[in-house]
Amino acid sequence: MKYFLIAGETSGDVHGANLIKQLKMADQEAKFRFVGGDAMQDAADQSALLHTSEMSFMGFMEVLANVRTISKNLKKVRRHLLAEKPDAVILIDFPGFNMRMASFAKKHGIRVLYYISPKIWAWNQKRVHKIKRVVDRMYCILPFEVDFYQRFDMEVEYVGNPLLDSIADHEPNRAFLKEKGLDHRPIIALLPGSREMEIKKLLPVMSSLRLLFPAHQLVVAGAPNLTHEFYREQMKGMDLPVVYHATYDLLLHAEAAVVTSGTATLEAALLNVPQVVVYKAHPITVKLAESLIKVRFISLVNLITGMLSVRELIQKECTPDLIADELHLLINNREYRDNILENYSLLRGKIGGPKASKRTAESMVAYLKMAQ
């Protein structure tokens, strides 16, 4: 069968790559085209129709500023779908773009499989009615999403969290410190996100922590599509080391981490790294979000556990001094640190074990064969 996958950002690219590998196992005749990044290109052994570096815009103001690029990307994917008519479009998160593609594919008789649900439970919950109309099968990776969809009489499949696959497959690099030119001082990992706009907001704040932690190494996890020069510009003269394609090894060597809200918060938790979650965006974007948001927390760790398992510092609270206060607790207060690690144990109990990508691929292939 022919599959067309769409992942618009770095985390979706990783999940898409794992899914491609498992689809190859479940369907020996599988053929792929996709919108994605480096990981999906490696898994499929071909170039993306569009790369994630051309796709990732977040927030009302940011989307508005790039509306022409988004429109061009939509047209390119639509033309390809009409020309190729795949057996299924597999959408991976990225709802602003992917919900439009779901409507288009459904209109033209292409099966729509959605892997990693849009976060409609957080805001604008009425979108579930559109999902019911245009999505043939939904595969959820967060346990509370099943209950949410049941409230709207929509049956979905919980497949577990694919991050567990990535972590289980990771082989720690014992030469990490040497290869990256790091010394043996304790490390504070800085994860400023994968989007340029996020990084521009957050890395100046994060990098200034170097002055407050002179006995530590502060190391930045770099997004593969962004240059070291770009990171250097955002550090305002701090010039911290940036490591690429090594986020898990960085976290495994870290004493604590400062993590931009998103998938990385869950990765840090699953790797047992005490963290403080941060976020900043354009003020108008934040005002709109505050009027629409339906959940108590922004980090996946807190959303899954249902409690404040890790500290969240958002917008005006996202300052070097407040982040430093939390880091000092994570590093120096043994009782506080142990409490964070206990919360992580609760988290792991809620999300289950690995093999999410395998379960999802097998379910997709079985569904499509039955629908033929």
The full DSSP string for 183-196 is -SS-EEEEE--SSH
Q: Say whether both 261 and 283 belong to one domain.
A: yes
Looking up tokens 């009425």, which residue turns up?
Answer: 126
If we measure between CA atoms, which residue out of 322, 296, 318 comes closest to residue 309? 296
Q: Say whether both 120 and 130 belong to one domain.
A: yes
Q: Say whether both 201 and 306 belong to one domain.
A: yes
The domain spanning residue 270 has which CATH number? Answer: 3.40.50.2000
Q: How far is CA 104 from CA 101, 362, 372, in A?
A: 5, 25, 20
Tell me the residue type at 128: V
Q: Say whether both 36 and 85 belong to one domain.
A: yes
Q: Please determine, for residue 59, whether its predicted confidence score (pLDDT) is greater than 60.
A: no
By residue count, the chain amounts to 372
Query: Based on the structure, what is the number of domains in the chain?
Result: 2
Tell me the residue type at 225: N
Q: How far is CA 102 from CA 93, 107, 280, in A?
A: 12, 8, 30
26-30, 60-64, 78-82: segment of lowest average pLDDT: 60-64
Q: What is the rounded CA–CA span in Å between residue 318 and residue 305?
A: 23
Q: Which domain holds residue 142?
A: 2-160+353-371
Q: What does the block give as tokens for 138?
A: 């939904």
Q: Say whether both 363 and 254 belong to one domain.
A: no
Query: Does 68 or 326 have the greater pLDDT score?
Result: 326
Which residues is 2 bridged to in the sheet? 31
Q: Say whether both 60 and 11 belong to one domain.
A: yes
Q: Say whether both 258 and 337 belong to one domain.
A: yes
The DSSP 8-state label assigned to residue 55 in this structure reads T
Tell me the residue type at 340: I
Share of the chain above pLDDT 70, in %: 92
Q: Say whether both 358 and 291 belong to one domain.
A: no
Interval 187-197 mean pLDDT: 94
Q: Say whether both 120 and 145 belong to one domain.
A: yes
The DSSP 8-state label assigned to residue 275 in this structure reads E
- For residue 218, give the 3-state DSSP assignment: strand
- Beta 88-92 vs 50-51: how paired, if at all? unpaired
pTM tops 0.85, yes or no: no
The DSSP 8-state label assigned to residue 54 in this structure reads G
Q: Say whether both 111 and 175 belong to one domain.
A: no
In the β-sheet with 312-314, what is the strand arrangement from edge to edge?
242-244, 217-222, 187-191, 254-260, 275-279, 312-314
Q: Say whether both 26 and 144 belong to one domain.
A: yes
Confidence class for position 57, pLDDT limits 50, 70, 90: low
Confidence class for position 87, pLDDT limits 50, 70, 90: very high
Interval 173-186 mean pLDDT: 96
- String of b and e for 215-251 (b: at least 16 CB within 10 Å)? ebbbbbbbbebbeeebbbebbeebebbbbbebbbbbb
Confidence class for position 202, pLDDT limits 50, 70, 90: very high
Cβ atoms of residues 341 and 120 within 8 Å: no
Q: Say whether both 122 and 229 belong to one domain.
A: no
Q: What is the rounded CA–CA span in Å between residue 335 and residue 364?
A: 45
Q: Give residue 121's pLDDT.
A: 76
Cβ atoms of residues 176 and 253 within 8 Å: yes
Q: Please determine, for residue 291, whether its predicted confidence score (pLDDT) is greater than 60.
A: no
Q: Give residue 68's pLDDT.
A: 78
